[in-house]
A and B are shown apart, each in its own frame.
Chain A
Amino acid sequence: MSRPSPRGVLLQILLLCLLFPALIYPLYMLLVRSVSDAEGNFVGAANFLEYLHSPGLFSSFVHSLTISTTVTALVVPAAFLLAYGLTHTRFSGRRICGLLVLLPLFVPSLLPAIGFVYLFGAQGIARFLLCGQELYGPLGIVLGNAVFTLPHATLLLLTSLRSVDSRLYMASACLGAGPWRKFTTVTLPNARYGIINASFVVFTLSITDFGVPKVLGGDYSVLSTEIFSQVIGQQNFTMGALISLVLMAPTVLTLTLDAWARRAHARLRVQNARPVSDVEQKSSPLFGVVCWGILLLPMASIAVVVFASFTAFWPYDMTLVPDNYFFEEAGYSLSSLGTSVAMALCVAVFGTALLYTGAYLVERGQIPAALKRLYRLLLLLPLSLPGLVLGLAYIFAFNSGPFSFLYDSFAILVINTIVHFSTVAHLTCVSALAKVDDNYEKAGRSMGVPAWKTALRVVVPQCRLPLSDVFFYLFINAMTTVSSMAFLCGGKYTVAAISIVNMYDSGYLGSAAAMNTLVLAVTAGAGVLHVLYKKIVSR
């Protein structure tokens, strides 16, 4: 390792300093509040004991575990079937199917939830399908969570099934193995980590989600809605902080298990694997039926919202009118969408720039290893922080104290969202940088060009595609996130996703559907631009 560069060290320290008010201080305040009473006096584990002894509070923990386990058990097999069909078989409309799978990623998690209200709610057109079961409660939460976690699980399993070396299938065929033996000896073992990883992701996403239980939960409380009602309903910040820690426990546990599983799986990684090619894909109409069948529910729940947003009064007056889009009539305005777009753009621009710089310094910068380790560790934290928890921690950190000038500002929304989604974005930057030849900066310096110049002129251009992925990822998530905004909006700034919740709460279902449709239009438009950009760049 060569001599540390002072500029790099300074920049890294600056980034770490930014993380202090954005991450460390709020978390510290959250911890403090969970062991204090309402007046701020230290009470130790007293709050926790109170929590354990109030059956009403503890039941939400059991509910959350039940819901998340059920969702995982439903979604992962379905996602596996989808991913297997998309990678290993051919059927008509497979390409479209592969695109539609991703659609729920482009909408707030509560859009499909509102779709279910239209389909199975009190005035639902497909209510008979529930056979008299109540939508509001566990059933609704499971359905809603299943729809929005499905694409996440499918994406992970797609990657995992695609990366199986096709030569293993050839070898297995030449050694006389039939289709079932190929599946059990090649496909499954190689997809095992993908399945484990997808299970953890689905479990974590559904246990930390706030939008779906808010809309479909009814009286059935889960951890996230419990936190919200403690803080907003009963002004019991202490209990809110404590339940936040409880909510983090399963998340931290799954992340730990996931890291362990990843190491155990490393043995199976094949160097220079040739992904499964068309040769291995067998035509299978059966898988076509299965894949389209699985997609039916998510598609219906999204399509019905878009359609209903244009109807006069669902389901009694189905004339197509744009009335729902005149938000002023319901006492709301279009400005929340503007706030969302502005916020998402800021998140994408600043987030990409900061996180890429950080990843660059950690991967290629000449700075002390201890600084690198600290930065890496801090950026893994947000992955285990549910949005609602981070939002609450921000409330504690910014409503008073040294950083209170940020309270109720636009900046706080941007900072919170960048931090909330930083881990995935950081890891994407890291893996992109790992693919760039190590020696460019050295080559540049041997020609008398400082490293930072080479970084800007050679390394950054080579990362254009992953950088656009990071930008897009941050933009989409900032547009659609509900959970991290729940506590931070309500004063001067309200984002679209939160105004949807408010519209729904005050009974303006049509307006909620219309706003949802607008968010979808923005994210889908961004998606098209993203694809176009990638096409142009890679040409």
Chain B
Amino acid sequence: MAFLEIEQLGMCYGASRVLRNVSFSVDEGELIAILGPSGCGKTTLLNAVSGIAYPSEGKITLSGRDITALPPEKRRFGVVFQGYALFPNLTVEKNVAYGLASWDARKRADRVREMLELVGLADFCGRYPNQLSGGQQQRVALARALAPEPHILLLDEPFSALDASIRQQLAEELRRLQRQIGITTIMVTHDQQEAMSMADRIVIMKDGRIAQTGTPAEIYEAPADRFVASFIGRMNFLSFSFMEGREYGIRGEDIVVTEATELVLGQPHTWTAQIMDVCYLGAVVRMDLLLQDYSTRLWAEMPASAAAKFKKGGIVAVHLPQNKWRSWNGD
């Protein structure tokens, strides 16, 4: 039995169904990322889990107990909201102590200090939220959510309001903290890199449904459909159909680009192509290729050192090794 079980969740706003048949489970201590483009229903799903929104169908169980109808006040789930929703009229200290109203004063003060030390903001207890930077606000929100010892931590786009430069650092910090406390966490994000780097497992959503659930590697290696294939990493879709009902694609880094010699071109799944553009990205180089049929365009990625000899406009051999093809059921 999983720690948190979400079964057949469905939700309607008026006539539009924002969630349908959403089922997944979360194990204790796990970090799950719910990933999807904006408007896919991921925040609604998070609201249903936290109790803020009431699902029209389905069931949520926590350690075997049905909590579907439990209001948020009774759930003891810690939530970090998008934009943090810190109480602007309360100091950092009082924000963190907000969920500890029923604790006795001594324990409460200790817990607040412990939490602020945990996120490295012990010196900021007297400040107001508007006197903090975005990163500091996020850490206060985290401390506030963790203080009442919640069963589960829910994060709604925790990094979206932050500068790119500070994002990665805070993401690593959050991941370390989550492992250290061992708290079960569900994080909602639209950023696939964030999800890939942080999550134990990813739930990919599209149009209110789950498209695929799996570890980052599983999803990258074996995308369940065309949407997942293009949303996680980039995929070259191979238009020549080999088998009815299946679609094929290949990742850019799996394409082998070599000098066009007769020997190479004699091998299977090898074509000549013209280099339409070469884009230098630092560690890797991306190449836009036009196959000899003058209609198929591919992009390939390779280490900068391997690409040095290729120039824009040159003719090369492109090999698509069959063991690297990914396939999924076509629509």
Chain B residues near A95 (CB, 8 Å)? none
Interface residues on A, range: 20 to 34
Pair count A-B, CB < 8 A: 78
Give the distance in Å from the alpha carbon of A177 to the alpha carbon of B101 in the complex: 8
Which residues in window 490-525 of A have CB below 8 A to B?
A: none
State the A residues within 8 Å of B (CB). Answer: 165, 167-168, 170-178, 181, 185-186, 189-190, 267-272, 279
Chain A CB within 8 A of B52 CB: yes
B83 interface contact, C-beta 8 A: yes
Pick the contact of B73: A177, A268, A269, A271 (CB < 8 A).
A177
CB of B32, distance to nearest CB on chain A (Å): 18
Q: Judging by beta carbons under 8 Å apart, are B79 and A172 in contact?
A: no
Partner of B98, one of A165, A177, A270, A271: A177
Q: A170's contact among B72, B89, B90, B99, by CB below 8 Å, is which?
A: B72
Question: B87 contacts A174, CB within 8 Å?
Answer: no
Q: Which residues of A contact B63 (CB under 8 A)?
A: none
Q: A176-B101, A190-B88, A279-B52 are in contact. List 13 more A-B contacts (CB 8 A).
A: A167-B82, A171-B144, A174-B79, A174-B145, A176-B74, A176-B99, A176-B148, A185-B89, A267-B89, A270-B83, A270-B88, A271-B83, A272-B83
Among A173, A181, A189, A268, the most chain B Cβ lie within 10 Å of the Cβ of A173
Query: Are A186 and B73 in contact (CB-based, < 8 A)?
Result: no
Using CB atoms and an 8 Å cutoff, list the residues of chain B in contact with chain A. 47, 50-53, 71-79, 81-83, 85-90, 98-99, 101-102, 128, 130, 144-145, 148
Distance (whole angstroms) from the CB of B142 to the closest CB of chain A: 12
- When C-beta atoms are compared, the residue in chain B nearest to A188 turns out to be B89
A173 in complex: contacting residue of B52, B90, B145, B148, CB < 8 Å: B52
Instruction: Specify the main secondary structure of chain A where it touches its partner.
Output: helix
Q: Can you name 27 A-B residue pairings with CB atoms under 8 Å? A: A165-B85, A167-B82, A168-B87, A170-B52, A170-B72, A170-B79, A171-B81, A171-B86, A171-B144, A172-B98, A173-B51, A174-B50, A174-B72, A174-B75, A174-B99, A175-B99, A176-B73, A176-B99, A176-B102, A177-B98, A185-B89, A190-B89, A267-B128, A267-B130, A268-B88, A268-B89, A272-B83
A167-B50 contact given A173-B71, A174-B75, A267-B88, CB 8 Å threshold? no
Contact status A181-B88, CB under 8 Å: no
Chain B residues near A272 (CB, 8 Å)? 83
- Determine if B98 and A185 form an interchain contact, defined as CB atoms under 8 angstroms apart: yes
| CB-CB nearest in chain B for A167 | B85
* Complexed CA–CA distance, A190 and B89 (Å): 8
- Residue on B with the closest CB to A185? B87
Determine if A174 and B101 form an interchain contact, defined as CB atoms under 8 angstroms apart: no
Smallest CB-CB separation from A171: which chain B residue?
Answer: B85
CA distance A178 to B53 in the complex (A): 17
B308 to chain A, nearest CB (A): 42
Distance (whole angstroms) from the CB of B154 to the closest CB of chain A: 8
Give the chain A neighbours of B102 by CB distance below 8 A: 176
Partner of B85, one of A170, A176, A185, A267: A170
Q: What's the Cα separation between A247 and B86 when bound, in Å?
A: 43
Cα A170 to Cα B74 with chains together (Å)? 13
Complex Cα gap A177–B72 (Å): 9
CB distance from B226 to the nearest CB of A (A): 34
By CB atoms of chain B within 10 A, which of A165, A174, A268 has the most? A174
A173-B73, A174-B72, A268-B89 known; A167 vs B83 contact (CB < 8 Å): yes
Contact A176 B88 (CB under 8 A): no
